[in-house]
Amino acid sequence: MSARTTPPWPLVALFTAGYLAPYLLPTTVGRLDAGLPLSATQAGSIGSALLLSSAAAGFVLASRVDRLGPRRVARAGLLLAAVGYGTAALTTTVPVVVAGALAGGFGSGTATTVAATGIAAQRDPHCASTLGLLGVSALAGAVYLTVPHLGPGHGFPLLAIALVALLVWPATNRLNTNAPAGTNGTTATATATATATATARTSAHRPYPRAGLVLAGTMLLWSLAQNSLWGVSGRIGTAQAGLSEVTVGAVFAIALGAGLLGVIGAGALGPRLGRALPIGAGTAVIACCIAVSAAADDLTSFAAGEIAWNTVYPIVLSYLIGLAATMDPRGRWAVLVGSASSLGTACGPLAGSLLSASAGYPAMGRVLALGLLVIAAPMTAVALHTSGRRILPSTVLRTHAARALTTRTPAGRARTPHTFAVRTHPAPEHPVVEIALDGIPAQRTAYDTAGPRQAAAPGPGPG
């Protein structure tokens, strides 16, 4: 297999280490509640603080990875994750647990930032992010099957995250110190040249500024809804559905296994359906699954909701990560959108705890489902816009535009222009309309984009 097609395994490993903490959130929050003198809301707040620290790392390091060196940044993040989570796992003093969770969260976010920056520079960022989701889903499923048999205590999930950070450390040897995070020793020269060219084109401004901001805002809300339920799913299973921790852990493991199959399917399908359909329709399906899972009162309904949800969720997430990565080859939108997602993830456990405490689990599920249906529309619009496709069919656009341009002669008879053409400039931020009128030759040079011409966003070179 050539270097061009070799999967970026160091980046996949970093992606797995960085994303493991959010995937283990239900068991982490549940064990903090059961093993320490904390209420359910306080345990959820610690989970939110951990993920908020992870999001902060992305915002702080979004544009600094290349300058500081991906190997150096990745190693610092993994070391901080190992020390922070390990300290939180080995003590029962609540302030120390909180401090360790915050430090570990920042380390996880740092690893995720390096991975996202490197994945965005890959030739196929969707494939790289899919491999990362496969890795973290498989690893989290193994932890869910193992932890319930290790005995009580809040430390086992945290120790698992710390151990993974240490195991991933050797993979950083294949990250070049000064090269962009997406390169390795065999492709450094070629990728450095390509990255330099991309940097020259995009150093001044991020491509798709409005679309990127919309995607970041909707990803915050999307992740908030997902993790509001995910943060309390363990308590739904034990308190509302009446299941044991072992049974709930087995359901989560099966659900994550189903997620593996979903991600494999998404990887095999690739961009054949585009991104708009998987993102829009997938989010609508997730909304239905969340409503079912939150209202579960027995094993059948709980397992059905969780398995269906976890099957679709990573599929949609992989397309969202790929969408953000293709919007900027330097990875800036990938990191910022990922950080916005982490911010929503951070607020999820606390939001879920507050909603469920005030309105109950079924009502919380209906609220979250409605919110997802609302944000599905702008997310789909961003996917269409950045792919150069119109949100409305071209026939509809031509009909409305022709009606607007129809004029009337002094005799009152309708007269339409002889020709009407709509074309899209390679940079879809600036549509250009050309109109040829009676007796006036159409001068193509008279119509152009407003402002300086921008280069089209390059194709795939994650997270």
**How many whole angstroms separate alpha carbon 325 and alpha carbon 463?**
7
Quote helix, strand, coil % in the chain, to nearest 5.
70, 5, 25
What's at 293, amino acid-wise?
S
Helix orientation angle between 125-146 and 245-269, rounded to the nearest 10 degrees: 160
**pLDDT tens across 77-122, in order?**
999 999 999 999 998 899 999 999 999 999 999 998 898 888 877 7
Q: What angle do CA 238, 240, 244 make, to 5 degrees?
A: 20
Q: What angle do CA 206, 224, 246 make, to 5 degrees?
A: 130
**pLDDT tens across 367-395, in order?**
999 999 999 999 999 989 887 554 444 44
In this prediction, residue 33 has a pLDDT band, given cuts at 50, 70 and 90, of confident
For residue 95, count other CB atoms closer than 10 A to its CB.
Answer: 8
**How many whole angstroms separate alpha carbon 285 and alpha carbon 278?**
10
Q: How is residue 78 written in tokens?
A: 């993994």
Q: Within the chain, how many helices (H) and strands (E) appear?
A: 17, 4
Q: How is residue 430 written in tokens?
A: 């600036």
Please state, for a pLDDT cut of 70, what percent of the chain lies above it: 75
**pLDDT tens across 300-359, in order?**
999 999 999 989 988 898 888 888 878 877 767 877 887 788 788 778 877 888 888 888
SS3 62: coil
- Measured between its terminal Cα atoms, the distance across the chain in Å is 24
Where is average pLDDT lowest: 13-22, 139-148, 413-422? 413-422
**How many whole angstroms separate alpha carbon 269 and alpha carbon 256?**
20
**How many whole angstroms separate alpha carbon 9 and alpha carbon 78?**
16
Are 462 and 125 in contact by the 8 Å Cβ rule? The answer is yes
**How many whole angstroms separate alpha carbon 34 and alpha carbon 111?**
29
Q: Is the per-residue pLDDT at 282 higher than 80?
A: yes
